[in-house]
Structure 1
Amino acid sequence: MVLVPLSSAQRRLWFLFCLEGPSATYNVPLVLRLRGLLDASALALAVGDVVGRHESLRTVFVVDDDGVPHQRVDPLGDFAVRVVEGSGDLDALVAEEVGHTFDLANEWPVRASVVRISDVEHVLVLVLHHSAADGESLGPLGRDLAFAYGARRRGRAPVFPELPVGYRDYALWQEELLGEEDDPDSVVSRQLDYWRTELRDVPEPLALPLDRPRPAVASHHGDLVEFRVDPGLVASLEELAARSECTMSMVFQAALGVLLFHLGAGRDVPVGSPIAGRVDAALDDLVGFFVNTWVLRVDLSGSPSFAEVLGRVREKALAAYDNQDVPFERVVEVLNPERSTAYNPLFQVMLAWQNTSYSALELEGVSVTQEIAGTGTARFDLLFNLHQPRGDAAATRAPVFGEIEYATELFDRVSVEVLAARFVRVLQQVVSTPSARIDGIDVLSVEERNWLLRELNPVRVEVPERSVVELVAQRAREFPDEVAVVCGEERLTYGALMARSGRVACGLLSRGVGRGSL
């Protein structure tokens, strides 16, 4: 039996498994609705072929005599795919499958079921544990599944191209790449120095508009709210990204920071983001857990324009790319922020962007549609998951689909639905006038504003019949040192405003300009 050390990402999930026990929090569900004449037996065999091809899907974690966890890859044997009749409650059946709790020490991190709804409609439910797969893994998994299904329909086993490396090779290579922390020239030492500086005094927990007080221990119970960014707006966002030499991920990060600022988070907004971690082309065709996490602080200081915010995000993101190898959990250990069982360290809001989708997966004779399936859990307070179909000629005109995974102990569903609408509203405003100051962005809808003015505050206020100039002058007499005007970095008190306007008035009078001249 060959044992190999865990990768850094696997170690993180093994620690959580030991701490919390089996949980669906880190499940990666893939639910595909299949319409057409499906060969269910061929599909079941094809799923087994994919499990046999990717060793991460046949891996269990074992602890050696010294208490150190390792990974063990089992031979394929028989992988069982359930084929069931969907005569009952399909949603309940899918929820049961995606909510499965994997035992990482005794169970392979993958399950599969084919649900027969009719002769021409089936649902494939694949559930993978995050220790064996990440979002980028769904690409090679889908390609291999389509290839294997085509072969099995013809009555033969698929002959896959040989993979250049396996996940165990990656785990060993990662340790070699990072080097030792006591070596100042090592990758891990240099990158930890960067993150020490970048994340010093990061605000936490982030001030969010919670519906309820944060409990002392997070339950990780969650739900999903879906939303969509229409193709026209997506095209405009892509144009803005191209002009700014930014990625779409950077645009969304900046817009999310602006939204959270307007909801009370302040001008220093840390947002977590997954990064693929596939730093070598040899890893592109592997199913495995390569993803790392970074924290990007959206800097909104000084009342900048959105274009300026986007430039700051770009600068920080490029620097983070250069320091992406050190595992996030090691960054947390080194920074040693105040630990809490109530919230995630260093960030509580994550944004994930993927421009891949399973609408492009092709099974012979079958149309495939990916469906959203929540696990009933939430890893963070808020997770904005954005994805765009890719693979057809009109990809640039495709909408962006989004889900907000939220902690149900903190937020009501209606609040998150409003949050999604406000996020889209911010995108609409920043793309139309990126040079406008972010402080002037309005996140409220007309209905929300009317409700605030008429329903929440129905008290009528008598307004004195005096001009604006008279009211400003009175305010200046009563509070001369209060700030009256803000323009960029410049601020004028009421006293200074009256003095400056007086000088302008004198200048106009000296040139013969009087009442009614303009």
Structure 2
Amino acid sequence: MHAGLVEVAGRGRATMFMVVHAAVCVLLARMGAGRDVVVGTPVAGRSDPALEELVGFFVNTLVLRVDVSGDPSFAEVVERVRAADLAAYAHQDVPFERLVEELNPVRSLSRNPLFQVMLALQNVPEPQWNLPGAQVRSASMFAPAARFDLAITLTERRDEQGAPAGLTGDILYATDLFDEGTVQALARRLAGVLEQVAADPGLRLSDIDVLTDDERTRLTTGWNDTATEAPHVLVPESFAVAPDAVAVRCGRSALSYGELDERVDRLARYLVALGVGREVRVGLCLPRSVDMVVAELAVWRGVGPLFRWIRSIRWTVGVHGGRQWCAGGGGDR
């Protein structure tokens, strides 16, 4: 995957950070963040050569805003990200605090004023300390308190020849907003997005799958296990067993199975005479009533797709897309 992402970056004249940034934008957009995605990222703040050898903390925060509307391909998202990132880098010396002061957004102690997701990519080799008579290694630090809703940090690995050797990462999250399972699922989704776009950067945003395997199984097999007989099949069977039993009731109006079958059959024949059949759409504009049930069963019996609006207004017969569109009115007939 890492090698594929490097190739995507090369083709788009982008950096690895830009490719990762594009993947995060795609994931957030697909997860419901909208089409205007804003993230923050830290920069070293040493653009002036005079600061290169100076000891001190000069890190600044950039706000990166990317538009992913129009269902672009991932390669197109990389282009948009590249343009947005380069524009931000050109003004990286503007202090974040000055930007907040100038924009003057609505403030809240519960969130950052300009973005809620921080993204960082570490791709600088770990320094090697050679001290006489001592072995030195880096020590892990406990995660600090979360300053953002999510802080995503990825680390790019290279082998001794400089070839891609993988990406690792971690996510620091606000525990009052997310639990561990949710963030782990988000990490798996991000890994899935990176794998997909590395294999095919031409994928459209809408074609990039963000479901995990367990979620897909739950949707297609678990929650979708609703096989049952359709109402228009059950009604004739009930009519044969108990034709005088009440089939549908709404307020003071009621129909037995026999009456319901008769009215459904009469309306279905009328719809078929109008041309209703397979692939012909039928719109219903009816209040909740006995007539609504009759109309729905008649449409199903006439083998036409159903679109229903529950309104207490009238509708008219019209044409839509070159096919007959039959609509019923509420109230009296």
- TM-score normalised by structure 2 residue count: 0.67
Q: Does 1:418 align with 2:225?
A: no
Partner-residue secondary structure (3-state), 1:399? strand
CA–CA separation in structure 2 for the residues paired with 1:434 and 1:367:
44
Shift in Å, 1:412: 0.5
Q: Write the mapping of 1:347-426 to structure 2, written as runs, cut at 5 A.
A: 347-358=115-126, 360-364=127-131, 369-389=137-157, 393-426=160-193
Secondary structure of 1:415's counterpart equals helix
Give the counterpart of 1:496 among 321, 327, 331.
321
Residue 462 and residue 435 in structure 1: after superposition, are their counterparts in 2 closer, same or farther (change >3 A)? farther
281-290 vs 348-357, which deviates more? 281-290
Q: Would the alpha carbon gap of residues 478 and 370 (structure 1) be closer, same or farther in structure 2, given more than 3 Å must change? A: same
Structure 1 residues 30-179: aligned runs within 5 Å: none
Query: How far is the alpha carbon of 1:282 from its aligned partner?
Result: 3.4
| Cα drift, residue 263 of structure 1 | 0.8
Counterpart residue number, 2:290: none
Partner secondary structure for residue 236 of structure 1: helix
Please report how far the alpha carbon of residue 251 of structure 1 lies from its aligned counterpart in structure 2 after TM superposition.
0.6
Instruction: Measure how far apart 1:269 and its partner are.
Output: 0.8
Q: Which residue of 2 aligns with 1:434?
A: 201
* 8 Å CA contact 1:356, 1:389 repeated in 2: no
Q: CA deviation at 1:259?
A: 0.3
Residue matched to 1:316:
84
* SS state at 2:163 partner: helix
1:292 maps to which residue? 60
1:250 paired with 2:31, answer no
Instruction: Give the aligned residue type for 2:38.
Output: P
Per-residue deviation, 1:371? 4.8
SS in 2 for 1:304: coil
Paired with 1:471 and 1:342, the residues of 2 have a C-alpha distance of 54
CA change 1:322–1:473 in 2 (3 A) is same
Assess if the C-alpha contact under 8 Å between 1:275 and 1:291 holds in 2.
yes
Structure 2 residue aligned with 1:443: 210
Unaligned runs of 5+ in 1: 1-232, 481-493, 500-518
Aligned counterparts of 1:234 and 1:370: Cα–Cα separation in 2: 25
Conservation of the 8 A alpha-carbon contact between 1:272 and 1:349: yes
CA contact (8 A) 2:143 2:172 kept: no
The answer as to whether partners of 1:294 and 1:328 remain within 8 angstroms in 2 is yes
Corresponding residue number in structure 2 for 1:273: 41
Distance 2:94 2:21 in 1: 22
Q: d(CA) in 1 for partners of 2:134 and 2:214?
A: 44
Q: What is the CA-CA distance between 1:373 and the residue it aligns to? A: 2.7
**SS across alignment from 2:281:** helix
Classify the secondary structure of the residue corresponding to 1:418.
helix
User: What CA distance in whole angstroms lies between the structure 2 residues aligned with 1:452 and 1:292?
Assistant: 43
User: 1:442 and 1:498 mapped to 2: Cα distance?
Assistant: 34
SS in 1 for 2:78: helix
Pick closer, same or farther for the CA change 1:495–1:454 going to 2, 3 Å: same
Cα distance between partner residues in 2 of 1:412 and 1:456: 24
**Distance (whole Å) between structure 2 residues aligned to residue 292 and residue 497 of structure 1:** 59
Q: Separation in 2 of the partners of 1:349 and 1:382?
A: 5
Q: Which has the larger radius of gyration?
A: 2
8 Å contact kept, 2:151–2:172: yes
Cα deviation, 1:415-457, whole Å, max 9, x if unaligned, reads 1111111001001111222112111111112222112334445
Q: Aligned letter for 1:363?
A: N
Residue aligning to 2:294: none
Q: Deviation digits for residues 338-364 of structure 1, max 9, x if unmatched?
A: 111111111000101121243x52435
CA distance in 1, matches of 2:155, 2:130: 22
CA RMSD after TM alignment: 2.9
Closer/same/farther in 2, CA of residues 362 and 452 from structure 1, 3 Å limit: same
| Aligned residue among 281, 303, 328 for 1:474 | 281
Cα displacement (A) at 1:388: 2.3
1:259 to 2, 22, 27: 27
1:149-228 equivalences in 2 (<5 Å): none
Q: Distance in 2 between matches of 1:440 and 1:350?
A: 25
1:221-254 per-residue CA deviation (whole Å, 9 max, x = no partner) reads xxxxxxxxxxxx1111011101100011111111
Task: Please state how far the C-alpha of 1:260 moved relative to its aligned partner.
Answer: 0.7
Unaligned 5+ runs, structure 2 = 233-276, 284-304, 309-318, 325-333
Task: Check the 8 A contact 2:42/2:60 in 1, yes or no.
Answer: yes
Distance 1:381 1:474, change over 3 A: same
Look up the equivalent residue of 2:99 and give its one-letter code: V
Q: Residue by residue, what CA displacement relative to the aligned partner does 1:281-305 show, whole Å, maximum 9, x if unpaired?
A: 3323344221111111121111111
Query: 1:425 corresponds to which letter in structure 2?
Result: G
Q: Point out which structure has higher relative CO (alpha carbons under 8 A, 6+ apart).
A: 1
TM-score by length of 1: 0.44
Matches within 5 A, 1:232-247: 233-247=1-15
Alpha-carbon deviations, 1:120-144, whole Å to 9, x = none?
xxxxxxxxxxxxxxxxxxxxxxxxx
Note the C-alpha offset of 1:496: 3.0
Q: Among all aligned residue pairs of Structure 1 and Structure 2, give the percentage whose two residues are the same amino acid.
A: 49
Question: Aligned partners of 1:236 and 1:395: how far apart in 2?
Answer: 15
Aligned-residue offset at 1:396: 2.6
Give the letter for the 1:419 counterpart: L
Q: What displacement does 1:498 show?
A: 5.6
> Any idea what SS the aligned residue of 2:321 has?
helix
